[in-house]
Chain A
């Protein structure tokens, strides 16, 4: 059964790019255009195997989203990757402290993205 990945990003280009890349490689993809929408999805029973979130988003930034996801029951150990243009080291460390599993800088190539996702989900290539 294919693994499900939730993408949270306000950029339609990133959402579509990541969705197409992952779907081409056998993953099931669901998307949310903002943090609150993602939280609603998770609270209403959506249970992805991996979450990929942007950091700089309106309404709720990625760090706040990570914090809120970790507070939800059943999502303490769900891997969360950040996919962002943000390169500030302090912010990177803060994300790690909040429970992110990894930090990816945009743009990331398709093979790199798929490789990281497989690595995080422990899927053989």
Chain B
């Protein structure tokens, strides 16, 4: 019940039981009184011959002022309640957001951590690394094999060319023998002509001539074959082989370089992966510190709420004092035995914060330890 409600109750009916000290302590600051009546309404309640007409008009004006103070207190308490409610709502909202941010950060860190270190990623990385190693080894082997084959082919071709030269020498030998055989056949004919026919030597001479002719034809065939073979095993062919060998070697080197780069890039990726995990974890931890601080800082709302509640109680105390004074004037009640000064002392005793006590006394804030373990 508000202050003016109490005045009206005293005027219009039996007195209400006063609030106990415990009730006052627990009284929420939004315990707003009903709207106070105006002075005219107060006067309208009075019978024409009541004692109110004996009270000095200036005293009645003072009672009206005190009534206005009760209304002022009620309005202020509603404002304080609004401030407390709004700041509490805002604080809860901020904490909710902080919790949400922390949840997102933790989720992100956990996701990156688990994704980067998952069995699938590790297995895939290992498989790629193994494939690169195998590919590099195969490339080395292929290049060596290519070199070996090219070298063998070139050596074989050069050997064939050497054999061809040797066979040309042999053909000249055969040709020389053929010419000697021809001479032998001619000499045989001459000798037969000297000793006369039918000696049987004509047959021998003819056979020698046939052998010579056949040897010549054979030598010619061999020469033709050698020429064709030399035509195939030409310098151009050998040069072309050498060029292909150089080209193959260059391609092999390029392939080898690609595998080396792939291997290097994989190592970089692995390092990047580790650095990324470290960075995400580090930034996640760094984000927690300001969130921790924020969560602590938001407690100012509760501190402010308690201060406002005590301001509200102080206002009520003064308002109650005015009620007692008003009742003393209107109803000739015993005036309150306390003064405004004693009210202020009571308010000072009820403070729970050094900050409030210092503000009340107009002193500098004393620094007491904020954390003390027993």
Contacts and interface: CB of A to CB of B under 8 A. Distances in A.
Interface stretch (B158-166, B230-238, B299-307): B299-307
B370 A24 contact: no
Most B CB contacts (10 A, CB to CB) among A21, A56, A105 go to: A21
A109 B297 contact: yes
Contacts of A86: 352-353
B64 interface: no
B299 A88 contact: no
Contacts of B95: 13, 16-17, 20
A38 to B, nearest CB: 18
What is the size category of the interface that chain A forms with chain B?
A: 35 or more
Contacts of B88: 12-13
A36 to B, nearest CB: 14
A58 B374 CA distance: 26
A111 B297 CA distance: 11
A20 B297 contact: no
Given A56-B306, A85-B303, A105 B292 contact: no
A92 B368 CA distance: 12
B308 to A, nearest CB: 12
Interface string B337-374: 00000000000000011100000000000001111111
Contacts of B297: 107, 109
A14 B288 CA distance: 19
B289 A111 contact: yes
A106 B302 contact: yes
B296 A107 contact: yes
B302 A11 contact: yes
Contact of B292 (A14, A21, A84, A116): A21
Given A13-B302, A24-B291, A105-B368, A112 B296 contact: yes
A11 B373 contact: no
B371 A21 contact: no
Contact of A111 (B26, B102, B292, B302): B292
Nearest to A91: B352
B314 interface: no
B367 to A, nearest CB: 11
Interface in A78-101: 84-89, 92, 96, 100-101
Nearest to A112: B371
24 contacts: A13-B88, A17-B95, A21-B292, A21-B295, A24-B295, A25-B288, A55-B352, A56-B306, A85-B303, A85-B353, A86-B352, A87-B354, A96-B374, A103-B371, A103-B373, A106-B302, A107-B300, A108-B296, A110-B292, A110-B293, A111-B292, A111-B296, A114-B292, A116-B373
Given A20-B98, A21-B295, A108-B370, 17 more contacts: A11-B305, A12-B92, A14-B302, A16-B96, A17-B91, A20-B295, A21-B296, A24-B102, A24-B292, A24-B295, A85-B302, A87-B353, A104-B371, A106-B299, A111-B289, A112-B296, A112-B371
Interface of B: 25-26, 88, 91-92, 95-96, 98-99, 102, 288-289, 291-303, 305-306, 352-354, 368-374
Interface of A: 11-14, 16-18, 20-21, 23-25, 55-56, 58, 84-89, 92, 96, 100-114, 116, 119-120
The 6 closest A-B CB pairs, nearest first, are A110-B292, A107-B299, A109-B296, A110-B296, A102-B373, A105-B370
